[in-house]
Amino acid sequence: MSQENVEIVRRMLIAFRNGDWAAAAEPLDPDIEMDTTRAPISGLDRVYNGLEEVAAFWREWLEAWGAQNYEDPELIDAGDQVVTWTTGHRIQGRGSGIEVAVPPYAWVATLRDGKVVRGTMYMDKAEALEAAGLRE
């Protein structure tokens, strides 16, 4: 099941990158919890509960930024969790046009029955791996 979880997360990330919001949201559990309390962005650093709040977070994020360029993240199998480690992510301010490099970050996605039930953001790979029961 763990490789299947990696593939679910991979498809979700590709859909998100391609702007296919329906496909990106398909594997999300209706009661998903998304924890961005470790994010270094004031106002977005909190816990979002349910699809409506999670969708509102992403709408707000996408409205603020124009073009986004991502390198494929490293996907790490952790059984019922998948760690994504992203080092190459650049965003461009929608109004200013200024391009900004996003610091490396990780998401730990917890899956149950093929659905993402929790997503937690980390700014440190070792911390994300430890949270998923792995070591660097």
Instruction: Compute mean pLDDT per 10 residues along the chain, 136 residues long, and list them.
Output: 91 89 94 94 88 88 75 94 93 85 94 98 97 90
Sign of CA dihedral 23, 67, 53, 7: positive
Domains with residue ranges and CATH for the chain: 2-130 (3.10.450.50)
Q: In terms of C-beta density within 10 A (0-12 exposed, 13-18 middle, 19 or more buried), how is residue 136 classed? A: exposed
The set of residues, in sequence order, having a beta carbon less than 8 Å from that of 9 and lying 6+ positions away, is 27, 75, 82, 84, 109, 111, 116
Q: Give the per-residue pLDDT at 69.
A: 78
Helices (H), the chain: 2-17, 21-25, 50-64, 125-131
Q: Give the per-residue pLDDT at 7.
A: 97
Mind listing the pLDDT tens digit for each residue in 42-51?
Answer: 777 899 999 9
63 phi/psi in degrees, rounded to 5 = -70, -30
